[in-house]
Amino acid sequence: MTSSIIEHLRSRGRLDRMFVDGEWLMPQTQARHSVVDPSTEEPVAEIALGSAAEVAAAVAAARRAFATWSVSSIQSRTLLLDRVHSLILERAEMFAQAISLEMGAAINMARSTQVPSAAEHIRVARDNARSYAFVTHRGDITLMREAIGVCGLITPWNWPLYQITAKVGPALAAGCTVVLKPSELSPLSALLFAEVVHDAGIPPGVFNLVNGNGPEVGAALAEHPDVDMISITGSTRAGVLVAQAAAPTVKRVAQELGGKSPNLILPDADLLCAVPAGVAAAFRNVGQSCSAPTRMIVPRARLQEVERIALEAASSIVVGDPRSQQTTHGPVANRAQFNRVQEMIGIGIAEGARLICGGLGRPQALSRGFYCRPTIFTAVHPRMQIAQEEIFGPVLALIPYDSVDEAVEIANGTVYGLGAHVQGKDLGAARAVAARIRSGQVHINYPPWNPQAPFGGYKRSGNGREYGIEGLEEYLETKAILGGVQDASSSGNAQEQS
């Protein structure tokens, strides 16, 4: 199936084109980028990279389309989003295979999580737009929520389709038009998504896709004076660069950036439930999630028990060929990430943290591919690099504490504040601790994922929110209209106050 994905895209001319103004157009440059299968380290395709010229063309198309799309009816926009949602589900297997090929997700995980969750973002955007009050009244003030304009969307390689739909869905529902720059490291699912948008009947110019790298295409989007908003999901470093490039044009910048999420195990927690689920959450998507709870903060008196349970949980992980039905975890997505994980494991060993499983190198019997050993460090000090820096791989730090106050201090003791977890039997106590943690989301006792829950960060994890109503509102401006309301007590003359 993987070869058929490439053949499908190649035969239709998708790999060497951009999607601009409803057409697949050849870029002006000859720049190319190899798409590498992380399980073999071999290139499987080449895509064309765009430049500032393609960004300009896409922004111009989006600006033209905005004039009509922004004033189209909610019913018409949500009907088109409904078609996008249906087509994603119809083509779910093709998307899953593409994601597994381009970034190494185990095929079962791609099928069960990556693709269905991506489709949910479109469904939620559709449903929220149908019920949202775009016009409200406050006395004689009319409040209008209007589309902000042309939006540049920059998405990462770790959840490629999921992050695209989390932005495109609410942006289109709000009446915005968009230019998408997906990661050049995982472009295949983005190209398939552009086909879905076209086949769903989204009007030309409403959705545009320009492949390219950050320094050229990402910067051109951020700098462009006709782009009204940039939404980026990526590293904190990338978010800073985008914000700097966007500053001269005073456009809105929404950033979902790095994280080092804590998982605070309270003294009364059931360790047999809390620890295995915590290991699974930390290693989900091979740890390549900005909100992965990679710091497990545990009572010092129970540390040995936690170690034993965590080791047993990690032993059930099957690292291997992402196309195999038996594999639970494939490789990390690219060489740079593999090198980063290896570097940080080495730093953890040098810092004196104790390994209870994993370590440097590939798992046994895997001689090629960007495979990492699921690694758990224990007796980690909160100020160690492995407890402070985002690793973005299958590395979990067990950090002991002596009091709940100390545990909260540890949880808040990084520059990040994206996600957090709290585990405990006393729900009142767990909620009290959750309220003290400085992060955009806190999960108590591993609740199901809810696409209506707003997601975003405190501190250097970014600003703004995605998902749910708040995700829709990111793409809206507020207009207050004063006067013009008939008032029987007045003579009808408007009085302006400054």
If we measure between CA atoms, which residue out of 435, 413, 406 comes closest to residue 422?
A: 435
DSSP letter assigned to residue 291: T
Number of C-alpha atoms within 13 angstroms, CB side, residue 211?
34
Evaluate whether the domain defined by 262-444 bears CATH number 3.40.309.10: yes
Q: What is the pLDDT of residue 489?
A: 44
Q: What percent of the chain has pLDDT over 90?
A: 96
Q: Facing residues of 416 across strands?
A: 459
Q: 443 has which bridge partners?
A: 421
For range 322-331, the mean pLDDT: 98
Residue 263 scores a pLDDT above 60: yes
Mean pLDDT of 313-318: 98
195-244 tens-digit pLDDT:
999 999 999 999 999 999 999 999 999 999 999 999 999 999 999 999 99
pLDDT of residue 484: 79
Query: Which amino acid is present at 130?
Result: R
The answer for 351, left when phi > 0, alpha when psi is -120 to 50, beta otherwise, is: alpha
Residue 126's identity, in one-letter code, is R
Enumerate long-range contacts of 132-137, CB under 8 Å, 24 or more apart.
132/469, 132/472, 134/74, 134/476
The contacts of residue 137 (CB under 8 Å, 6+ apart) are 143
Residue with tokens 């002991």: 400
Given a contact cutoff of 8 angstroms between Cβ atoms, the answer to whether 266 and 423 are in contact is yes
Q: So what's the pLDDT on residue 86? A: 98
CA distance 181 to 152: 8
Contact 188, 35 (CB under 8 A): yes
Which entry of 151, 176, 290, 372 is annotated as an active-site residue? 290
CATH number of 2-257+461-479: 3.40.605.10
In the structure encoding, which two tokens stand for residue 10, read together?
């190649």
For residue 248, what are the CA distances in angstroms to 224, 231, 245, 393?
10, 16, 7, 35
Does residue 404 surpass a pLDDT of 90? yes
Q: What pLDDT was estimated at residue 373?
A: 98
Nearest to 179 by CA among 147, 211, 156: 211
Residues 5-24 pLDDT 10s:
999 999 999 999 999 999 99
Pairing verdict, β 421-423 and 416-417: unpaired
Does residue 433 register a pLDDT over 90?
yes
What is the model's pLDDT at position 3?
Answer: 77
Q: What is the mean pLDDT of residues 330-357?
A: 98
Please state the rounded mean pLDDT for residues 13-38: 97
Q: How much is the pLDDT for 485?
A: 67
Cα–Cα dist 204/25, whole Å: 13
* Edge-to-edge strand ranges of the sheet holding 354-357: 354-357, 375-378, 395-401, 295-299, 262-265, 421-423, 443-444
Alpha carbon distance 47, 344 (integer Å): 31
Local confidence band at 495 (pLDDT 50, 70, 90 cut-offs): very low
- What are 122's two structure tokens? 């479109």
- Any bridge partners for residue 232, and if so which? 154, 255
C-beta separation of 317 from 362 below 8 A:
no
Strand 421-423 relative to strand 262-265, pairing: parallel
DSSP SS3 for 260: coil
Place of tokens 């224990």: 378
Q: What are phi and psi of 64, to 5 degrees?
A: -65, -45
Higher-confidence residue of 96 and 2: namely: 96
| Total-model pTM | 0.96
Q: Is 273 a catalytic residue?
A: no
What band does 496 get if pLDDT is binned at 50, 70 and 90? very low
From residue 382, how far is each of 297, 298, 341 by CA, in Å?
A: 9, 12, 19
Tell me, what DSSP letter sits at residue 215?
A: I
The predicted pLDDT at position 39 comes to 98
Residue-wise DSSP of 378-441: ES--TTSHHHHS---SSEEEEEEESSHHHHHHHHT-SSEES--EEE-S-HHHHHHHHHHS-SS-
pLDDT in tens, 79-100: 999 999 999 999 999 999 999 9
Cβ–Cβ under 8 Å, residues 210 and 184 = no
Q: What pLDDT does 491 receive? A: 38
Domain ranges of the chain: 2-257+461-479, 262-444
- Confidence grade of residue 487 (pLDDT, cut at 50, 70, 90): low
Structure tokens given for 282? 């930390």
Pairing outcome for strands 207-209 and 177-181: parallel
Strand ranges, E, within 204-336: 207-209, 229-233, 252-256, 262-265, 295-299
Beta bridge pairs of residue 209:
19, 180
Bridge partners, 337 (sequence order): none
User: What average pLDDT is seen over the chain?
Assistant: 96
Is residue 256 annotated as part of the catalytic site, yes or no? Answer: yes
- pLDDT at 429 > cutoff 90: yes
Torsion angle of the four alpha carbons 311, 316, 317, 321, in this order, in degrees rounded to the nearest 10: 150
Which position among 256, 307, 466, 474 bears the catalytic label?
A: 256
